[in-house]
Structure 1
Amino acid sequence: MKFIVLLALVAFAYAQEDADLDSPVVGEEKWPENEDTNGGFLAGFVYSNVEEGSCYFNLPEPAVLFHVLNGHIVTGDGTNPVEGRYTVAAPAGWEMENGTLRVLVYAGRGALFNATDVEFSCDPLDVAELSVYSFPQNDEVSEASSNVFYRPGYHKGDSLTITLPSPVARFNITGADGRWEITSSDDGLTHVVTGFVNEQGVDDQKEVHFSLNYLVTDEDNPRENWFSAGQITVAVTTVEEEDEGVVV
């Protein structure tokens, strides 16, 4: 499967040059399902004038895996993987490369669809302050890496809470500043990061990175504890908001 995706990525780079300007979809590379893997596609979705806004994907069928290679998922009401709905905010300039969001999809068995069947739209006014880099990056049910992007930047007194929907074999905050304090619940589902050092006005600390290994408790059902970025919960509380009982 890794080989198939690699070939698709190479083909995608060339296919962008021949984009159909009447369609938001460019460079679709598709593969059928077989006994070893689900069918799927890699495609680019072209946007314009999004600025710091959001884009929306509405799949015709829920997917086994939906991964935006260069985007962050906005968790909450706008995203529901079970229904095939995703809100995507690409908050960093490097992510919105060539005005295209690159999407990798593995469809369900017998439910393969085309990229052109996906409803895609964007709204520059829908600015999300908090988002999670898209994961998992493949369907191996092994490990994933991500980050929580906070548009205003993390500052002294801020508290980031990451809550997972299922237990994992391992969870780490990666690249952490030695002055950060990381507290985890006994069940390993909730992780709180505090101790940020930036003063207000210094806004360059915008991402907290993490990695995890999925927990496989049933070899016959390895996806039992598998989840995606759209299924975790993230929240940032500032000193002022903590006093007022408000969570971002």
Structure 2
Amino acid sequence: MVRVTVWNENRHEQKNPVVRDIYPEGIHGAIAAFLQDEFEVRTATLDEPEHGLTDEVLQSTDVLVWWGHLAHGEVSDEVVEKVKQRVLDGMGLIVLHSGHFSKIFKTLMGTSCDLKWREADDKERLWVVDPSHPIVDGIGEYIELQREEMYGEHFDIPAPDQLVFVSWFTGGEVFRSGCTYQRGNGRIFYFRPGHETYPTYHNKEIQRVIANAVKWAQPVDRKRPVYGNAKALENGGN
């Protein structure tokens, strides 16, 4: 069974009663609850020792789901480096919503990952632009969210390996809202929706996309290539 760790900084839930009412078990608890039907799931949060991402936890994680917003700067560089190495070794990474500005996502992308945003109860329509992709298995032509935070282009990310969703908002903006990448042996999926004051992670279609992404991002059964000086495979090689 795929082993999933759901990481959340867990700060909005402590500060904002609106968020606490929507997610009484925390955003991490809500995500873990719908994933546990299909996967072996644990949670980790910012204020735990090593942010809950000890060597033991990371080594026993096949896919890491990441949600952060208020406290990106409080994530230690040492933990970020360990997560990066696990991704390069094959661990899957799913970055949600405001995790676009997390240290780990910016490190793996190599860009600012900045964007336009607005909190104004915009309707979001996430259009499926790669209907054969396994991440959209069971999803129709689009997902519609009646109230969400707007993210708009330009989104300063590298061109995705695969673009799965493009969002449209009632303010007229569009956004690349479902993007896949490969880094080393690892697969990464960025998925836009999930502002903390809206019940987005209770939406069954959003849940389906995240569960599909976990299956897609699980590691393949192979070791990383060996790099550096190499002996010839054939006789006569120098």
Same fold by TM-score greater than 0.5? no
Q: Which structure shows the higher helix fraction?
A: 2
TM-score (normalizing by structure 2) = 0.30
Q: Which has the higher strand share?
A: 1
